[in-house]
Structure 1
Amino acid sequence: MHFRFKKLLLLAAVVVTGVSLAACGNQKAADNKDHTIQSGKLTIGLEGTYAPYSYHKDGKLTGFEVELSRDLAKELGLKPVFVQSKWDSLIAGIDAHKYDAVFNNVTVSAQRAKSYAYTVPYLYSKSVLIVKKGSTIKDPKDIKGMKIAGDLTTENGRTAQKLGANVVAVPGFSEAISLIESGQVKGAFNSREAFYGFKQANPNTDLTTLDASKEIPSQTVAGVLSKDNPELKAKLDKALKKLEANGTVSKLSVQFFGTDVTKK
């Protein structure tokens, strides 16, 4: 009986410690005037391998959302800090207090909104099916029974599966492109913005796109952060609205996508 009582005490201590650590992370943001996990800094989570949103060029991290985050931090009087993570664990990093917000082409969804807060939108994403020029695929519905690159945790991958494709798992955009180019898969659903950026960097590509707006409706893209930090959300929203009003967001879009994709 004594041994069982000790085990119960130990279990209770573990639970209390876990709760205390989570509360501590939230308290850090609440205890400083910036409402960020590190005073004086805005820590942003992103992949860093998803051009043109966030990627490395000449050893430097850049991209549409990287430069947007730098401008947001400047508006808030904070130093931007970037933390890279793979997509499958990126959003969970908010709960672990690895960063204040995620800016990584995250689409607004009712399901995710149950657990997280969103900033005001800054991009409107439309989906396309990327294929080789001359492909026998003339319509997204033609992919039934074909190998299509995708990630089943995303709307793109789930749509391919719904249409009857054999989904070949890939971690990101660049890997999907490589498989299409090598002929290992017939195509991949992704955002037209990602393809715009790819084509801008690879003007002689033999890849093209098919409209997939019927299969995947236009999606709104916004920053993601904890619901427990309304003060930071308010600051980010105010800064984003200012950057949209003065043309900064549109200029960044043209710079990285070759066109303005910030309007509905």
Structure 2
Amino acid sequence: MKRTFQSLLTLSLGSSLLLAACSDDSNDSTEETATTTAEDTSWNDIQEAGILRAATSGTYFPNSYHEEGTNVLTGFEVEILREIGERLDVEVEFTEMNVDGMLTSLNSEQIDIAALSISHAGENADKFNYSEPYKYTYMSMIVREEDNSGIETMEDLEGKRAAGAATTSYMKIAEQFGAELVIYDNATNDQYLQDVANGRTDLIINDYYGQTMALTAFPEIPIKIQENLFFNPSYTNFSMKLGKDALTEEVDKALEEMHSDGTLSALSEEFYQGEDVSVEVDMDIPTYEIEE
């Protein structure tokens, strides 16, 4: 089974939908009105086609991966999307791609929805529509078991080698605290983890729950989560093209129903070893601002 830490969980610091402000220029206003009117047919178009085109990574266990033995695409976010499709009475058609591919495909309307939570504080904050959250989490870091990779505080990241995918919030945090970035492209979990253990890298910052699952899958590798360094609570949601308000509303209705009837909790417990990641964690966790 291919399992990677390629991050599709970029930090989300806001809680409300951010839409682009209207321009005072009359021509811009006319163009925006026409565009908004056209884009408001987004849900009708999907209903008529009977297909919701969704993007997912296919390589990020336990959110999106291929089942061992059958190669069937599954995972927490995949099954949420399938359930949304059931409730909206449309077929969900999956395409697997990386983060950059998702951003491009949303804007070019090759896909309708992406399992990609874009930072609401970043440069793309006002360029997309966002669904209600379906997962809450926080950041942690994997270090060597024998010596914590020499890391006891965030300031100890200075000069350390942080492993991860390029341009993620995880890597931006590491860089801000002075770490040297070691970029991986869709590497498997065992490669990431072994490299920390053998000293090629020193740490991996990522989603706490995802890291817990990875450590469980590879108990023989002498690494651990630094239990004194939890930070930047965040949530994960689905992203859609800016202005696709009708589609966003339908997706939100389905997610709210899934929250209310316990479906999200049940799916979380299935994929996260009994943990309910669909509710916020009751912990005092510090937040470090991410510089763009």
Indicate which of 154, 169, 186 corresponds to 2:183.
169
Bigger RCO (CA 8 Å, 6+ sep): 2
Amino acid in structure 2 at the alignment position of 1:161: E
Q: Matched residues in 2 for 1:251 and 1:31: separation?
A: 30
For residues 1-264 of structure 1, the aligned pairs below 5 Å read 30=41, 33=44, 35-36=45-46, 39-58=49-68, 59-104=71-116, 106-111=117-122, 112-135=124-147, 136-172=150-186, 174=189, 176-210=192-226, 211-214=228-231, 217-258=232-273, 259-264=275-280
After TM superposition, give the deviation of residue 245 of structure 1 in Å. 0.9
Tell me if structure 1 keeps the 8 A contact 2:132–2:255. Answer: yes
Which deviates more, 39-48 or 193-202? 193-202
After TM superposition, give the deviation of residue 228 of structure 1 in Å. 2.2
Which deviates more, 201-210 or 145-154? 201-210
Q: Matched residues in 2 for 1:192 and 1:227: separation?
A: 30
Where does the alignment leave 5 or more consecutive residues of structure 1 unmatched? 1-22
After TM superposition, give the deviation of residue 32 of structure 1 in Å. 6.9
Tell me if structure 2 keeps the 8 A contact 1:108–1:222. Answer: no
Aligned-residue Cα RMSD (Å) equals 2.5
Rate the CA distance shift 1:47–1:38 in 2: closer, same or farther, 3 A: farther
Corresponding residue pairs, total: 237
Tell me if structure 1 keeps the 8 A contact 2:143–2:204. Answer: yes
Compute the TM-score of the two structures, normalised by the length of structure 1.
0.81
Rate the CA distance shift 1:204–1:241 in 2: closer, same or farther, 3 A: farther
Amino acid in structure 1 at the alignment position of 2:88: L
Rate the CA distance shift 1:209–1:29 in 2: closer, same or farther, 3 A: same
Rate the CA distance shift 1:149–1:260 in 2: closer, same or farther, 3 A: same
Where does the alignment leave 5 or more consecutive residues of structure 2 unmatched? 1-33, 281-292
Amino acid in structure 2 at the alignment position of 1:43: R
Q: Matched residues in 2 for 1:133 and 1:28: separation?
A: 52
Larger-Rg structure: 1
Q: Matched residues in 1 for 2:79 and 2:212: separation?
A: 18
- Percent sequence identity is 24
Structure number with higher helix proportion: 1
Q: Matched residues in 2 for 1:74 and 1:165: separation?
A: 45
After TM superposition, give the deviation of residue 151 of structure 1 in Å. 3.3
Rate the CA distance shift 1:228–1:107 in 2: closer, same or farther, 3 A: closer
